[in-house]
Amino acid sequence: MRKPEKKEWNAIISCDSQFDHVFYYAVKTTGIFCRPSCKSKTPKFENVVIFKSRDEATEAGFRPCKRCKSGGVRVPDEEWVLDIKRYVRLNLSEPLTLNEIATYCHGSESHLHRTFKKVTGETIHHFVVHQKITFAKELLQNKNLEVQQVAEKVGFRNAAQFATLFKKKTGRSPSKYRNEVLK
């Protein structure tokens, strides 16, 4: 495991298939390894490590990419869904669109949506909203945070939009929820 050399980095950013099977790259923040030709979003240079083989990447704890099938075999759906859930939980302060989640988790939007529902019984949208509301409830227990700040910390740019969704899901406005919890 090492940082990419210039030619390897160029192969990654240009999705050069000539380097497939020459090396594999892994992204530390996702725990996934890919072929250089993978069409997924280009990772940040500082998050990339290089491996000579699939086995080396797997032994280091990385999982094969769903999109480029870097492991030579399909990743079980349950494992992929665990990766998706982890990504969502680590990025609750972001808007988290289906496209963004699919790109980051190396799959298509339709496949992600279908697989997530099949494995969990709920849609990815429902899961994201539930995680954001749960996190918002925790944040609202801090009386030093304004509702606008809580909204931003759970990925909403607009406090009114956050308050509407929060009330729809909990039956109370964020302020009312806070007052009840802090009594």
Q: Which residues contact 102 (CB under 8 A, 6 or more apart)?
A: 108, 109, 111, 112
Q: Which residue has the tokens 């990766």?
A: 83
Q: Is residue 30 within 8 Å of 65, Cβ to Cβ?
A: no
C-alpha separations of 34 from 12, 24, 58, 129, 166 in Å: 9, 6, 11, 30, 38
Please give the positions annotated as active site.
Answer: 34
> Taking the CA of residue 150 as centre, how many other CA atoms within 13 Å lie in the half-sphere pointing to its CB?
26
